[in-house]
Amino acid sequence: MCQSVFRNKPDTQVTFSLINRSTHIPLANLIDEGELREQLDHIRSLSLRRGESTWMRGNTFYGKRQMFRPDFMDWFEKLRLPPYHLERVGDQYELTFEGSWPEVMLWEIPALAVLMELRGRAVLNTMGRFELQVLYARAMTKLWEKVEHLRQVPDLRIADFGTRRRHSFLWQDWCVQAMQEGLGNGFAGTSNCLIAKNRDMEAIGTNAHELPMVYAALAEDDAALASAPYDVLADWHEEHEGNLRIILPDTYGTNGFLRNAPDWLAGWTGIRIDSGDPAAGAETAIRWWQERGEDPRTKLVIFSDGLDEAKIVELHKQFLGRVRVSFGWGTLLTNDFRGLTEGDRLAPFSLVCKAISANGRPTVKLSDNPNKAMGPQDQIDRYKRVFDVGAQKRFEVLV
């Protein structure tokens, strides 16, 4: 994504902001501001190490060598992340990042991971040595039972998408290894490049909502807005092939997006279902492919919204044979500490870091779930009109 932005919109000025959808978690009471600043300052001191750069230049991604162009790598090697703005407001933190899009976008993952891990450490600090050992013993047992359940299911393909909201780095590393040992070829890889590098796994991923959100915010009028979600994929189409050609259709409503999509998009490899009722989303995609003369059985459906192992097994059973099914398993893979502490103080929660404006204009996300929508109300109304989004069903957002 960063390379695509670097090539196509390098000068776009964006603001990213932390958004804690779980307002009952008082982050500013839990995490010391000094400690948070120390971590964020440390992130700004980091740059690509030589071995990391070598790996990016030399590694095969999705079977393809040299996915990253020399000019991008030259820029990336010199990059340090831009400044942050941190302010305590009530019992929450306002944390924002401003600057050019390709630089600012790289803050999302470390900012979220640091906040999740500091919150975890604040809770762990109150526990005794054996309570800690037994906490991790229980968490390991819990994850391994999920893995043992999943390994019973033939032809399952699951990837780790859990970096940003992981419990901690070491814990994610353990979870990913457990998945590899337990699922073997059923484990498709991780979107965490460092773990992929260290553990000789596939580094994988898809494109995210920020691409259409920023492209849409840059649109000069309603006509440009209506075509923005396709423009961004046209840029993507030029650059990527195969399993990287995955549609993320829900930013402004899946139904309208597919209805108005150009035919070349139906030729893409698959679709990622990230909000709303996942089964309904997959059925919509199947119908759309059939209408466009494509064989759904050759198409990939990647489920990635709030998955846990029971839901994975259910969706897999439901769609096996009708499409190629895959799963991007996130927070409940790398941070399922639910029920393991008194008062459930380590349960994961819904923290995101999103582009909120581009070149001074607010961004908007509608999603297939109004609980995941964001942006100023007048812009939400405008986007709903432009993208012809009707009534939407609400779904609880756990993570």
- Judge residue 298's burial from the number of C-beta atoms within 10 Å of its C-beta, 0-12 exposed, 13-18 middle, 19 or more buried: exposed
Residue type, 287: R
> In this chain, which stretch among 81-89, 131-139, 260-268, 273-281 interacts with its own copies, using CB under 8 A?
131-139
| Residue closer to its own copies (CB basis): 116 or 147 | 147
Q: Tell whether residue 223 is a contact of its own copies (CB under 8 A).
A: no
Angle, helices 278-291 vs 309-319, to 10°: value is: 30
For residue 249, the SS3 value is: coil
| Residue closer to its own copies (CB basis): 151 or 197 | 151
Q: Tell whether residue 88 is a contact of its own copies (CB under 8 A).
A: no
Of 102, 374, 363, the C-alpha closest to 219 is 363
| Residue closer to its own copies (CB basis): 178 or 266 | 178
Rounded CA separation 53/31 (Å): 33
> In this chain, which stretch among 60-68, 138-146, 239-247, 377-385 interacts with its own copies, using CB under 8 A?
138-146
Tokens of 272: 């990622």
For residue 357, the SS3 value is: strand
User: Which stretch of DSSP H or E encloses residue 66?
Assistant: none
Q: Tell whether residue 141 is a contact of its own copies (CB under 8 A).
A: yes
| Residue closer to its own copies (CB basis): 88 or 142 | 142
| Residue closer to its own copies (CB basis): 184 or 321 | 184
Of 381, 380, 385, the C-alpha closest to 364 is 380
Rounded CA separation 70/78 (Å): 13
Q: Tell whether residue 370 is a contact of its own copies (CB under 8 A).
A: no
| Cβ density class 150-170: b for 16+ within 10 Å, e for less | bbebeebbbbbbbbbbbbbee
> In this chain, which stretch among 114-122, 178-186, 228-236, 372-380 interacts with its own copies, using CB under 8 A?
178-186
Strand-by-strand arrangement of the 270-273 sheet: 187-190, 158-160, 324-329, 300-303, 270-273, 246-247
Instruction: Supply the minimum distance, in Å, between the C-beta of residue 54 and its own copies.
Output: 28
To which residue do tokens 């030399």 refer?
58
Question: Which residue in the set 58, 70, 128, 321 belongs to the binding site for its own copies (CB under 8 A)?
Answer: 128
| Residue closer to its own copies (CB basis): 30 or 135 | 135
Q: Tell whether residue 260 is a contact of its own copies (CB under 8 A).
A: no
Of 207, 194, 179, 172, the C-alpha closest to 59 is 194
Question: Which residue in the set 177, 227, 260, 341 belongs to the binding site for its own copies (CB under 8 A)?
Answer: 177
Q: Tell whether residue 170 is a contact of its own copies (CB under 8 A).
A: no
> In this chain, which stretch among 125-133, 232-240, 290-298, 367-375 interacts with its own copies, using CB under 8 A?
125-133
Q: Tell whether residue 194 is a contact of its own copies (CB under 8 A).
A: no
Q: Tell whether residue 79 is a contact of its own copies (CB under 8 A).
A: no
| Residue closer to its own copies (CB basis): 127 or 266 | 127
Q: Tell whether residue 320 is a contact of its own copies (CB under 8 A).
A: no
Rounded CA separation 396/371 (Å): 7
Which residues bind to its own copies, rule: CB under 8 A? 128-130, 133-134, 136-138, 140-141, 144, 147, 177-178, 181-182
